Amino acid sequence: MDQFFIKLSIMLVPGLMAITCHEVSHGFIADKFGDSTARSLGRLTLNPIKHLDILGTLMVFVIGIGWAKPVPVNFNNLRHPKRDMIWVAAAGPITNFCLATFSAFLMRGLIAATQQVPEGSMIAAFVDPITLMLAFSVYINLLLGIFNLIPVPPLDGGRVAVGLLPYGPSSALARVEPFGMIIIIALVFFTNAFSYVISPALSFGVHLLAGPYSNLVFGVTRLMMRG
């Protein structure tokens, strides 16, 4: 039970922030480009309760990746639907990459600033959990950003591809959306897509951002996933 609460305390804030900011960014950019659907429904808020999907949140703690209730976007309300769709969709992964970068620099700065702090001190008791939360934030934000770039709608990468492709291929890819989640589940759980595509990209991102503290990021994540 103690391990559960330790795990919860380290994963909860970074996980909720990653998912919430991802969704809010979609609605924020859509609002700027002419679609006020998210604003009118009260979804342009960082209050995670407005965005929580119970199953998606539980999955963060079970398999390390989850989802929120998608922020509704009416692409027909966008001033330039095909072009603006690209930016609305891309906003989610871009936000996650920005959060991962910010978390990594803050983590590295905090570690450097507290190297002389003795273990067991009050300062260490305060700083150590924050460092672990930042390490997990690097991982979960990179994972969400990379995963959402898979070019299969309804994932963001699929919608970016729909916006970028010529009319014929774009229409064909858009018609995949009703079956998109089945395809994604099949790719992740029944192929080597995670091992050969997502995992190397994630490893590259962690090493790029965390540098000499990459092992800390992976170590914290393995510990959290192990329960």
CA-to-CA separations, 91 to 60, 100, 120, 192, 217, in angstroms, rounded? 21, 14, 41, 27, 25
pLDDT per residue rounded down to tens, the chain (227 residues): 567 777 778 888 898 899 899 999 999 999 999 999 999 999 999 998 888 887 776 766 666 566 778 899 998 999 999 999 999 999 999 999 999 999 999 999 999 999 888 887 888 888 999 999 999 999 999 999 999 999 999 999 999 999 999 989 999 999 999 998 889 888 877 888 888 889 999 999 999 999 999 999 999 988 877 65
CA distance linking residue 151 with residue 161, whole number of Å: 6
- On whether the CB atoms of residues 120 and 208 are closer than 8 A, the answer is no
Cα 177 to chain centroid, rounded: 20
Instruction: Give CA separation, 49 vs 69, 97, 103, in Å.
Output: 10, 23, 23
pLDDT at 195: 85
Question: Under DSSP, is residue 52 helix (H, G, I), strand (E, B) or coil?
Answer: strand
Q: Annotated active-site positions, please?
A: 23
Q: What is the pLDDT of residue 40?
A: 94
pLDDT of 222 reads 86
This model's pTM is above 0.85:
yes
With CA atoms as reference, report the closest residue to 68 among 15, 141, 142, 28.
15
In this structure, the number of other CB atoms found within 10 A of the CB of residue 145 comes to: 24
Question: Residue 92: what pLDDT?
Answer: 96
pLDDT at 90: 97
